[in-house]
């Protein structure tokens, strides 16, 4: 299973995801002195489960869903979280 499938599965255990986009920038960090092998990922996550949640609460929900992946497989994870209506406003 690739990392996108793994993350999608982890998120779906706690969040109903309408759209997920992952970008892996790990290759840009391989030659850094402190590179420890973890993935460097950025994500766009769209879910109505984010309705009425602050940005911090949204990110906490995602981190809770990813669990130990954040400390093990993933070294850096940046995210943008949207509800479906917010996403529609941003892409049109």
Q: What is the pLDDT of residue 27?
A: 60
CATH number of 3-91: 3.30.300.90
Report the predicted TM-score, pTM, of the whole model to 2 decimal places: 0.84
Nearest residue to 3 via CA among 16, 22, 25, 27: 22
Mean pLDDT of the chain: 87
The tens digit of pLDDT for each residue in 59-77 reads: 999 999 999 888 788 878 8
Look at residue 34 and tell me whether its pLDDT is greater than 90: no
Nearest-10 Cα torsion for 47, 49, 51, 56: -90
């Amino acid at each position: 299973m690739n990392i996108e499938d793994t993350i999608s599965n982890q998120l779906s255990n706690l969040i109903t995801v309408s759209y997920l986009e992952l970008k892996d920038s790990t290759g840009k960090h391989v030659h850094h002195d402190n590179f420890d092998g973890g993935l460097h990922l950025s994500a766009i996550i769209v879910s109505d489960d984010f309705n009425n949640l602050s940005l911090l609460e949204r990110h906490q929900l995602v981190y809770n869903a990813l669990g130990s992946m954040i400390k093990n497989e993933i070294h850096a994870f940046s995210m943008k979280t949207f509800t479906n209506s917010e996403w529609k406003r941003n892409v049109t």
